[in-house]
Every structure is written in structure tokens, then in C-alpha cells.
Amino acid sequence: MYQIKHTKDLKNSLNFIEIEDLNKASYAKIQLNLGGSLQELVLLNHHLIKDLHPLTYDNTFVSAILFPFANRIADGSYVYENKTYQLKINQEEENNALHGLVYNKTFELIHQKTTPEKAEVLLRFEEIVDSEGFPFTYSIDLTYILTKESLDLRVSVKNTDTKTFPFTIGWHPYFISQDLSKSAVHFKSRKKYIFDKRNITQGIEEIAIDRTIFIEDKFLDDCFALDDNEIGFDTPLYSFALKSSEKDSFLQLYTPPHPNAIAIEPTTGISNSFNNGEGLKTLNPNDSYQIQWNLKLIQK
């Protein structure tokens, strides 16, 4: 059986949900005031996601939902329907807008449900005022479903405005390995994107379709166009498969300045997508867009 606990103490900036099975083999902690992000995850007693202290959420975006854009927008500027928009610059060292607008919003708990096999929570954020550089309103629902060996994250975005808007979306989890140097990421791709010094897309490099990246001592900050919707991650203690419901997907890999951690980020767009159009989608008034990511542990 599963239990769900909501801790809310706004005076001390505490607002999080904990989900746990009674055997304590699976556990999830979701911070409502950090964009509804998954800050801890345990599956079958394996710690997959945890605090990256001394790094902070403000500079890691741990498990953040990236909307209305994933990655970067060069100079925070883009043109949509012949009109120029200026987003707030939140990455000053590169003069970019980074990782969207909802990563630091407060989500509300709308619904919760437990059964002997799983637990489910539905969270919601509603943007009712025009944001700087993105003058559109929308609502975004996050549904987390935890079982002993899997986590599903379902995202639904609804355009509540009277105007069509552009968007991409992504998820920014960091995974912990006992020994990252002996870990590997598997996926299928024919295209790797080339970045400039500001991590803005400049071109494409053709590569072999079957990719296995052995982390070893590499520093990674790379983006690939995926040829299928599954990513594998192998560590000395556990492996998992991460699947997306979106066929046209991209993968960003990043190793932060923290031992044995790697960001494995599924997205629907790339760096500067609002300007280069790669993966860019639009959402009409009153329409919704759904995407689901499923992470399933593979027993060794």
C-alpha cells in the first residue's frame, strides 16, 4: 500500500509532497514551490534522484519542467508571427533566457489517489497574467504515478488565451550513479547538434544511429535528435529505460560539477528553438497538448 503526505508550512517556505510505499522500497518527493519538480526518487531501494548539495536548484534546475521552452533562447529574443518578443535574461553569463517560465512557479495539489500497487498525484499551475516576453495565458497539469519499479510523469498544457502561442517542453532530471565513470547512456540518433560558446545551436553533425556513450571521465553538454523514443541508462547497481510518448524527441546530456550525477533530459525542442524552429510546436486557443515520460527500473 502507498501513502501520500503533503507538508505545507509557508512561513518556512515548505510545500512538498512525499509518496512512499509501506515497505519503503519506493519513494518520491515533489516540491510544489519549485515548479512541481521531482526532487527525490527511490525505486526498488535504488536512489535515482536526490539532492545535489552544495549545488542549488537555481543553478541546476533539478527535475524542472521546461515550458514554454526547453534549453536556451539566444539573448532572450525571438520573432513569432512577425512580432519580436523579449524574454527576461536569467542566464546572465551567456545572455540567454534559460529553461522556460514555470520552473520556479508554485503548483497546487488538485487530486491524489492510492491503491495497493501505486500512488498518483495531480498538480496544477495556471498562468493568468501575461509573462514578460511570453504574453499568453495557459494552465499546466503534472500527474506523477509511482509504483515500486516505475515513475510516470504526464504533462498536459492548455492554451487559455485567445491567441495561438509557440512552445517546446522538456524534463530536466539528474540521475545518481554509484560510479558514473562506469555508467553508460544508450539511444538511437543520426544527428548531434553543434553549439557555440553560449550553447546556442549552430549546426548539425551526422553520426552513427546506435549510440552508447560510456561516461568514463567525459564532460558532457550535448544534444541529439532521437530516432526512437527510448533512452537507456546503465549503472553498476541499476539500469532503467526512459520512454517518451512524443515521437519527435531530443536528448540533452549534461554532467554537472557534482560527483556521480548526470542530467538525462528528454525534450521536444533544442537550444534556440524559438528562432531556428527545430521541434517548435504551436498551441491554438482552448486546445491542449499532452506528453508522457515513463521511467522503468530494469533489475540486474
Mind listing the pLDDT tens digit for each residue in 179-213? 999 999 999 999 999 999 999 999 999 998 888 99
**Mean pLDDT of the 212-225 span:** 95
Cell numbers that stand for 221 in this block: 553538454
Closest CA to 99 of 273, 275, 298: 273
Residue 118 predicted with pLDDT over 70: yes
Residue 300 predicted with pLDDT over 70: no
CA distances (Å), 86 to each of 59, 102, 182, 187, 228, in order?
22, 17, 43, 35, 34
First vs last C-alpha separation in the chain: 25
Residue 279 predicted with pLDDT over 70: yes
Which SS3 state, helix, strand or coil, does residue 255 take?
coil
What pLDDT is recorded for position 10? 76
Residue 88 predicted with pLDDT over 80: yes
In angstroms, the CA 96 to CA 74 distance is 5
The pTM score is: 0.96
Say if strands 174-176 and 221-226 run parallel, antiparallel, or are unpaired: unpaired
Task: Write down all domains in the chain, each with its CATH number in brackets.
Answer: 2-298 (2.70.98.10)
> What proportion of the chain, given as a percentage, has pLDDT over 90?
93
**Mean pLDDT of the 126-134 span:** 95
**Mean pLDDT of the 144-166 span:** 98
Mind listing the pLDDT tens digit for each residue in 221-256? 999 999 999 999 999 999 999 999 998 899 999 999
What pLDDT is recorded for position 218? 92
Apex 131 CA angle, 127 and 136, nearest 5:
65
**Mean pLDDT of the 14-38 span:** 96
Mind listing the pLDDT tens digit for each residue in 55-68? 999 989 999 999 99
What pLDDT is recorded for position 24? 86
Structural contact between residues 254 and 220, judged by C-beta atoms closer than 8 angstroms = yes
Element (H, E) at 224: strand 221-226
Residue 173 predicted with pLDDT over 70: yes
Structural contact between residues 37 and 144, judged by C-beta atoms closer than 8 angstroms = no
In angstroms, the CA 274 to CA 165 distance is 11
What's the mean pLDDT when you consider all of the chain? 96
Mind listing the pLDDT tens digit for each residue in 248-273? 899 999 999 999 999 999 999 999 99
Closest CA to 221 of 294, 293, 270: 270
